[in-house]
Amino acid sequence: MSDQELAPESGIEVAEKEVTQQEETASTSAAAAAAAAAAALESQEDEELANLVTAEEYLMRKDVVLLEYEKQMFLDLVHTDGLLVCAKGLSYERVLLNLLNVYSDAGNLLLVINSSDIEEQYYKSKLESKFVHEVANTAQERERVYLEGGIQFISTRILVVDLLKQRIPIELITGVIVLRAHSIIESCQEAFALRLYRQRNKTGFIKAFSSSPEAFTIGYAHIERTMRNLFLKHLYIWPRFHATVRAALQPWQTQTIELHVPLSVHMSSIQTHILDIMNFLVREIKRINRTVDMEAITVENCVTKKFHKILQAQLDCIWHQLNSQTKLIVADLKILRSLMISTMYQDAVSAYALIKRYRGTEYAMSNSGWTLLDAAEQIFMLSKQRVYNGQNEFAPEHCPKWQPLNELLTVDIPSDMRKRLGANHLQAPKVLILCQDARTCYQLKQYLTQGGARFLLQQAMHHEVHVGKLNEEFARQSQANAMASNAAQPKSKPQQAAVAPEQPQLDELTQLLLDNDAEQLQMFEESYMLTMTQTQAPLKAEPNANESIFEIIPELEQFDVSAALQEQRQPCICLQTFKTEREGALALEHMLEQLQPQYVIMYNTNVTAIRQLEVYEARCRRPPAERLKIYFLIHARTVEEQSYLTSLRREKSAFELIIDTKSKMVVPEYQDGKTDEAFVLFKSYDDEPAGNAQTRQGANAGAALTAARITPKIIVDMREFRSDLPCLIHRRGLEVLPVTITIGDYILTPEICVERKSISDLIGSLNSGRLYNQCVQMQRYYAKPILLIEFDQNRPFHLQGKFMLSQQTTATNADIMQKLQLLTLHFPKLRLIWSPSPYATAQLFEELKLGKEEPDAQLAASLGSEEALTDAAGDQLQYNNAIHDFLLRLPGVHTRNVHGLLRRGGSLRQLLERTQTELADLLQSTESGKLLWDILHVAHLPEKDEVAGSTALLAASKQFGHGAHNRFRKAAGEAKRGARR
């Protein structure tokens, strides 16, 4: 019996054993799979670790081509965060490009800020596309792109909003790279973004680049303040005279030939007279303004390219205090500089047409008086003599540099090619001619393809200069040029239409020269490719500057230089500006790589271009016989040479100042923001002493202290992040909440709404009526609306002169003041606050929030929208805004009783039928009810003073007829009848 009973139990045990064995087998296989996966992961990690290299090993790779000083720049920035300041032309672009390549990985999130469009396009074209992400349009897409890692070129305004709304994983950011670091000030958006980044990320890096050393010399302690705003402790300085730079460039020096081209007699005299007038005006402006610092306004600075920036830095802050004569002198100095530039670089006809503009009666009445000087009369006379000869025949002189340029292209360069390669060589020379602007580039293209005489005649037609009788020799030259160009025309291919750039941004020089020539912009290009119609010029024949042997290569219209070089076996002459609208200063480097010229002609001088040529030759590492040959065409002992030397001196002085500052600079250990001692990051309200809080907030000390320990919040409209104020608000320790709101710009408390206006915006809003509507909205929803008028701290202004009755107050200013007065009369609760700077505004906001409630972001966003608003009682009511405003203007009606009147008053007709007692019940006040009943039912006559005035007007009106002042006559008659009674 027992055996039979145990039989089933043994079967169950067998089954359980089988299940247990299966589970053990499964667990064993799972463990084996997990072990295999772990081993594979370890091998992958080992492989990745094996692929990791140090910075020094990375520089030894074959695909990394850097000069010695560039390698040192790279190593400095890889090992330590810092600010790199290099000289113009030494190009930190390759260093930055290799840094971006090092961090090009999906596991890294690298942000590049403050880059120009040109720089962004350049770096994106050089990097792998899979690691470079475009900025998405929507917030959700940007959150997804941030998590994908890689490199992002992002605008700072979008970055600041995403950091505040925590759309971006700040702790996961690998680092931030800042370009054009000289423009970073503490109130800019870039400094705001870096502060937000450093608050929550203590391990990521910050690296900054700048190629403008002169910018760091403006203002007090500019370099220290910039480094503090960037949270950097190390400064790397790379001038041209650095020992490492000299050692890298010295062995590969190019062959340089400097050709001093003398000015013509007329040009030299015009230059002397313009400098005399400039010297007179500079002495005059210093005599008038003895109390103003005019040290930077000198004749030397007046002829340099950055004259406008010097004037702006010197005079902007006191411009409103200068008298009219000083302002006229400043304008005339700009005009004289444009005349100097036109004389030096333009042709004689264009320069004469420009100078003629300033001899008219209209300009003579509005200048500082320089046109009445003898030197000015000499300028007008000599400019005319450059165009017309003694018999008043049209015979304009050629530019002095045209003849040497033609000789270089037709004689010197072909003979040098024969010396280099032998007399029977078949290689065509490639020549690059560098000009300062598109106008000069166009001028040389027209001269080389048409000849000087024909080009000057075309300029006379364009500028409407009277030609009259042509000089015989000039007429013969122009006819010969026309025949030569017609003969060469069949050889040239039809030009393809080039894509016109969208609104090209011209440099300062071109803007000065063009002025009213906007219609001619389409004909100016920044690059031209020419070739010679004959391969070799006769050796014995003298070159004629008026015979054209050049024609255009149309392939360059599509910017395809390689196709042009393959198709054309003839000599190639490329005309190129130092900078282009498409590529900026990088255009020269790009052209050198594509064209690979043997000769470079510097038609104008430029420090950056010269250094770019030095760096290009050092990269090529060619033997001396194959190196670039550079020709400088320069007017010795003239304004052109002086301007070039001044730019060199300024850069050297700037670097010497930066080096001296670095040796004396005290950098706090916490300046990098990686420790808790970085108190400059934010002001902590948790550490505020209780005594201060109690002193400020009076009796309610306990509740106020609790409120003070909460970080104050300010709601900021999204559109306001274009200004500096949100950054400065955050710098004072207040929390910034970016919200899209329709009423106001800043919400400080549930009762305080601020509408910020700059001076220009204020004038435009007053004239258009937009400000009135904005004030209506603010007064409707907020108890304390504020209009903040903020003017630029560097540009003070005045709406009223020094005295109450001042002739300095213009009609426009008076009109603005009257409209502001009307605004305050219409809105009694509106408060006007004048702020001298965003710094003062941020401090004011902080003080206005002390002891106040925090605003509700959701409520602020809903106010003013089309959705139904909920009042305090929770009723869903929506009133007609016009009726609401009308009732508030009636006597006895105010914000505390207007809602009850709207609920129970019915219509205006019903309101008129109510008794005084019923109105008092509606308004919950007997006095308010009487005021409202009187205004609705009692006829109000003018006061006694008004009647007396109307009587006087009635007596005066008899002299002008019986139809005038009927209203006042009627009122005066009623007053007399009342007096008789």
pLDDT in tens, 680-713: 444 555 444 444 444 444 444 444 444 445 789 9
Chain segment 516-535, per-residue pLDDT in tens: 344 444 457 778 888 775 43
Q: How far apart are CA 751 and CA 782, in angstroms?
A: 5
- Give residue 674's pLDDT: 85
Distance of alpha carbon 714 from alpha carbon 841, whole angstroms: 13
Lowest mean pLDDT segment, chosen from 152-156, 506-510, 748-752, 908-912: 506-510
What's the pLDDT at 262? 93
The pairing of beta strand 550-552 with beta strand 527-532: antiparallel
Average pLDDT of the chain to the nearest whole number: 79
The residue-averaged pLDDT of 456-462 equals 91
Residue spans of alpha helices (H) in 170-242: 189-200, 222-230
pLDDT for the residue numbered 528:
82
pLDDT 10s digits, 216-231:
988 788 999 999 999 9
Which of 7-11, 19-23, 480-484, 729-733 bottoms out in mean pLDDT, i.e. has the lowest? 7-11
Share of the chain above pLDDT 90, in %: 36
What is the pLDDT, as a whole number, of residue 264? 93
Is the pLDDT score of 562 beyond 70?
Answer: no
pLDDT at residue 419, as a whole number: 86
The pLDDT tens digits of the residues spanning 854-889 come to: 999 988 888 876 553 444 334 334 667 778 778 877
Q: What is the mean pLDDT of residues 602-625?
A: 93
3-state SS assignment for residue 150? strand
- What are the φ/ψ torsions at residue 520 (nearest 5 degrees)? -95, 0
Q: Please determine, for residue 366, whether its predicted confidence score (pLDDT) is greater than 60.
A: yes
Q: Which two tokens stand for residue 808?
A: 């300095």
How far is it, in rounded angstroms, from Cα 338 to Cα 335?
5
Place of tokens 């011209």: 506
- Strand locations in 484-598, DSSP E? 527-532, 550-552, 572-577
Would you state the pLDDT for residue 901?
Answer: 85
Work out the average pLDDT over 791-798: 64
Least confidently predicted of 328-332, 512-516, 576-580, 818-822? 512-516
Query: At residue 513, does pLDDT exceed 70?
Result: no
Q: Report the C-alpha gap between 807 and 781 in whole angstroms.
A: 42
User: For 131-139, which contacts have Cβ atoms below 8 Å and span 24 or more sequence positions?
Assistant: 131/104, 131/105, 131/106, 139/165, 139/167
| Confidence (pLDDT) at 24 | 62
Average pLDDT over residues 382-405: 92
**Is the whole model's pTM more than 0.85, yes or no?**
no
Question: What is the pLDDT at residue 707?
Answer: 41
Superfamily of domain 49-238: P-loop containing nucleotide triphosphate hydrolases (3.40.50.300)
Per-residue model confidence as pLDDT tens digits over 336-365:
989 999 999 999 999 999 999 998 888 888
**Res 963 pLDDT > 50:** no
Distances (CA, A) of 228 to 184, 484, 681: 10, 65, 10
pLDDT greater than 50 at residue 813: yes
Q: What is the structure's pLDDT at 952?
A: 52
Q: What is the pLDDT of residues 24-45, one digit of tens each?
A: 665 666 666 666 666 665 555 5
Task: Give residue 700's pLDDT.
Answer: 47
Q: Report CA 351 to chain centroid distance, whole Å.
A: 32
CA distance 434 to 952: 82
Q: Does domain 713-796+814-867 have CATH number 3.40.50.10130?
A: yes
Question: What span, in angstroms and rounded, lies between the C-alpha atoms of 950 and 972?
Answer: 6
Average pLDDT over residues 751-775: 89
What are the domain boundaries of the chain?
49-238, 263-386, 713-796+814-867, 881-937
Residue 806's pLDDT is 40
Q: Do domains 49-238 and 713-796+814-867 have the same CATH topology?
A: yes
Long-range Cβ pairs for the range 622-625 (8 Å, 24+): 622/252, 624/255, 625/420
Higher confidence at residue 299 or residue 560?
A: 299
The pLDDT, as a whole number, for residue 868 is 39
265-288 and 324-345 helices, crossing angle to 10°: 160
The pLDDT value given to residue 556: 47
DSSP-derived 3-state class of residue 152: strand
- In this structure, the chain runs to a length of 981
> Could you give the CA distance from residue 358 to residue 380 in angstroms, rounded to a whole number?
9
Burial of 621 (0-12, 13-18, 19+ CB in 10 A): exposed
Q: What number of other Cβ atoms are within 10 A of residue 177's Cβ?
A: 24
What was the pLDDT predicted at 675? 80
pLDDT of 945 strictly over 70: no
Closest CA to 397 of 463, 477, 339, 482: 477
What pLDDT was estimated at residue 943? 60
Give 584 or 15, the one with higher predicted confidence: 584
Predicted local distance difference test score (pLDDT) of residue 738: 93
Mean pLDDT to the nearest integer, 70-76: 94
pLDDT(560) > 70: no
Share of the chain above pLDDT 70, in %: 73
Nearest to 202, CA basis, from 676, 674, 670, 672: 674
* pLDDT reported for residue 542: 41
Kindly give the pairing relationship between strand 132-133 and strand 150-153: parallel
Highest mean pLDDT among 437-446, 479-488, 549-558, 923-932: 437-446
User: What radius of gyration do the chain's Cα atoms show?
Assistant: 39
As a whole number, mean pLDDT of residues 292-300 equals 73
Strand partners, 527: 576
The string of DSSP letters for 743-764 reads: S-SEE-SSSEEEEEEEHHHHHH
List, as own/partner pairs, every contact residues 530-536 make where C-beta atoms lie below 8 angstroms and the sequence separation is at least 24, other chains included. 530/445, 530/448, 530/449, 530/572, 530/573, 530/574, 530/575, 531/568, 531/570, 531/571, 531/572, 531/573, 532/409, 532/570, 532/571, 532/573, 533/488, 533/491, 535/428, 535/570, 535/571, 536/414
d(CA 649, CA 217): 13
> What's the topology of domain 881-937?
DNA polymerase; domain 1 (1.10.150)
| Coil, strand or helix at 157 | helix
Q: For 313, list phi and psi in degrees, rounded to 5.
A: -65, -30
Q: Quickly list DSSP for 353-383.
A: HHHHHTTSHHHHTTS-SGGGSHHHHHHHHHH
| Among 850, 849, 854, CA closest to 697 | 850
Give 977 or 459, the one with higher predicted confidence: 459
